[in-house]
Amino acid sequence: MASSQSYMDKVQLRQNYRNLWHTDLMSTIMDDTPYCCFSFFCGPFVSYLLRKRALYNDMSRYICCAGYMPCSGRCGESNCPELCLCTEVFLCFGTSVASTRFLLQDEFNIQTTQCDNCIIGFMFCLQQLACIFSIIAMLVGSEEISEASQLLNTLSDMVYCTVCACMQTQHKIEMDKRDGKFGDRPMAVPPMQEMSRFDQAVPPAVGYPPQQPQQQYGYPPPGAYPPPGTYPPPGAYPPPGSYPPPSYPK
């Protein structure tokens, strides 16, 4: 019960993360078509590579299902992590993809968008519907229902493989961004709370007083000369006719 509550708390926490995936599930096939095809035909192998890369190629950090399942840490992963990871991606492929996804989301605070939830939820619902039709076909013995269940199973498998391939391509693109393979990041728009507004009050000055602008060479500072008409001061020169002074008597 405690583990189930902890899982639900983590799911709710991921809804409140602020960051987004570099590309959504609908755009992965256009952003990296070769890798998406590679993920579709070689899903377990790609899951192995992505998990190892998500751990920064340090397999000493490996835990079964990235620590999100009750069996995590109890399978002797520390003795042979490569073998345990191979077993995980081949026997529990879907869980391995989801665990890598949760690992990246928790590391980079990436939220689960509504669009991604709809696509993943559609995949799960289609699988459940195919399972229900298979059970009904087995109980009733109708050939029509049996054929419908087979068609639903084939369709659900195709959707499952396609969504997993898109998810793994999404993980790969996100780690490409993390590792700087896109080059310099473009300048981003600052957050709304950091942008100034015209109606925002100017805060009072604190700390040291503002420095005066540096005076340029060749120009006197303001106030260096008296105003016009005040120079020379009165009485600075002798009155007219008093210069040169009379000669002294001999």
**What pLDDT, in 10s, does the model give residues 109-146?**
998 878 888 888 888 898 888 888 888 888 887 788 88
Specify the pTM.
Answer: 0.66
* CA separation for the pair 71, 73 (Å, rounded): 6
The predicted structure's pLDDT at residue 222: 64
The predicted structure's pLDDT at residue 70: 81
Q: How far is CA 130 from the centre of its chain?
A: 36
Question: Is 140 exposed, middle or buried, given 0-12, 13-18 or 19+ CB atoms closer than 10 A?
Answer: exposed
Plot region of 200 (φ>0 → left; ψ -120 to 50 → alpha; else → beta) = beta
Count of alpha carbons within 13 angstroms of residue 76, beta-carbon side: 4
The predicted structure's pLDDT at residue 189: 38
Strand partners, 19: 110
Q: How far is the CA of 206 from the CAs of 153, 197, 199, 201, 209, in angstroms?
A: 70, 21, 21, 15, 8
The predicted structure's pLDDT at residue 32: 93
Q: How far is the CA of 84 from the CAs of 67, 96, 98, 100, 187, in angstroms?
A: 13, 11, 17, 15, 42
Spell out the domain ranges in the chain. 2-112+165-178
Structure tokens, 24: 């959504």
Q: What is the mean pLDDT of each run of 10 residues along the chain (250 residues)?
A: 58 77 89 94 95 93 86 82 93 92 91 83 88 86 83 88 93 92 52 38 42 54 65 65 59
